[in-house]
Amino acid sequence: MAVNTLSKKTVEIKNCLSCVEKKKKLTQARVKELLNYNPKSGVWTWKVNKSVRAKKGDIAGHVNSRDGYRRINVDQNMLKSSRLAWFYMEGYWPEQDVDHIDRDRTNDRWSNLRHVSRQCNIRNSNTQSNNKTGVVGVFWDRHRKKFMAYIAVNNKRVYLGRFTNIIKAVKARWEAEKKYSFPNCISSSTAYRYLKEKELI
């Protein structure tokens, strides 16, 4: 049993290394030979006939239903179109994340992409579906009948307190964002936007 497990892991590692090697061999010139990327619109199209379903001039790739990212298969490399855009434009693979500034994962316009750390990418996220306040990090605690505020720093949740009204909770969140340099990563802070609309900052 142990031998089979080890063998399976060895195969997985070899397959992973094989993928890395394939990616290393993929050149910017080869990508440009196969694909056209329009930096103004962010649209990818094939420059060659790939298959019956993918012909010259067709939109390349598909949007993954699980995570919302567009992926394009280039010489057996299934790649996120945002990372591929970076390679197409800059000639090297980004070491960290390619973030969509407006948080729309299908908007691959060059002006909407930036090379950032994973933490910065996570900070620039939308509100969760169960968040009814519209402000990231501010929730209604129905058990205590108060608004709760928190902020995530280095993958750890920092509790900011519970408040009797939403404005105090949002202010606490915004002050924490400034303290931890979030404005450098967030394209449009929901806390900032909320306070700005209320003419409180």
Last residue of a domain, one of 116, 139, 161: 116
Nearest-10 crossing angle of helices 190-197, 166-179: 130
Taking a C-beta distance cutoff of 8 angstroms, is the pair 166, 138 a contact? yes
Query: Which residue did the predictor score with more confidence, 106 or 51?
Result: 106
User: Among candidates 109, 176, 110, which has minimal Cα distance to 138?
Assistant: 176
Classify burial at 140, counting beta carbons within 10 Å of its beta carbon; exposed 0-12, middle 13-18, buried 19 or more.
Answer: middle
Question: CA-CA distance, 58 to 66, in Å (whole number)?
Answer: 23
Count Cβ atoms below 10 Å from residue 200 Cβ, excluding itself.
Answer: 11
Find tokens 């990818």 and name the residue. Answer: 44
Q: Which of 92, 116, 140 is the last residue of a domain?
A: 116
Pair 19, 82 in one domain: yes
Which structure tokens are listed for 8? Answer: 């399976």
**CA of residue 113 relative to chain centroid, distance:** 10
In a domain, 121, yes or no: no
Residue 21 pLDDT exceeds 70? no
* DSSP 8-state class, residue 59: B
Whether 142 is covered by a domain: the verdict is: yes
pLDDT over 60 (residue 59) = yes
Residues 171 and 105 in one domain: no
pLDDT tens digits along 125-179: 766 666 778 898 999 998 999 999 999 887 789 999 999 999 999 999 999 999 9
One domain, residues 142 and 167: yes
Q: Within its chain, how far is the Cα of 30 from the centroid? A: 25
* Distance in angstroms (rounded) separating the CA atoms of residues 70 and 64: 6
- Could you tell me which residue, 5 or 198, shows the higher pLDDT? 198
Q: Answer whether residue 71 is part of any domain.
A: yes
Asked if residue 160 belongs to a domain, the reply is yes
Q: Are residues 101 and 18 in the same domain?
A: yes
Whether 49 and 132 map to the same domain: the answer is no
Q: What's the domain range around 174? A: 126-197
User: Distance between CA 107 and CA 80 in Å, rounded?
Assistant: 12
Residue 109 lies in a domain: yes
Q: 62 and 141: one domain?
A: no
Alpha-carbon span 85 to 110, nearest angstrom: 8
Residue with tokens 């299908």: 106
Indicate whether 77 and 152 sit together in one domain. Answer: no
Q: Are 12 and 51 part of one and the same domain?
A: yes
71-119 tens-digit pLDDT: 999 999 999 999 999 999 999 999 999 999 888 999 999 999 999 888 7
SS3 145: coil
The total number of structural domains that make up the chain: 2
Q: Is residue 140 part of a domain?
A: yes
Q: What is the CATH number of the domain that holds 187?
A: 3.30.730
CATH code of residue 62: 3.90.75
Residue finishing a domain among 91, 116, 141: 116
What integer pLDDT is reported at residue 18 of this predicted model?
Answer: 47
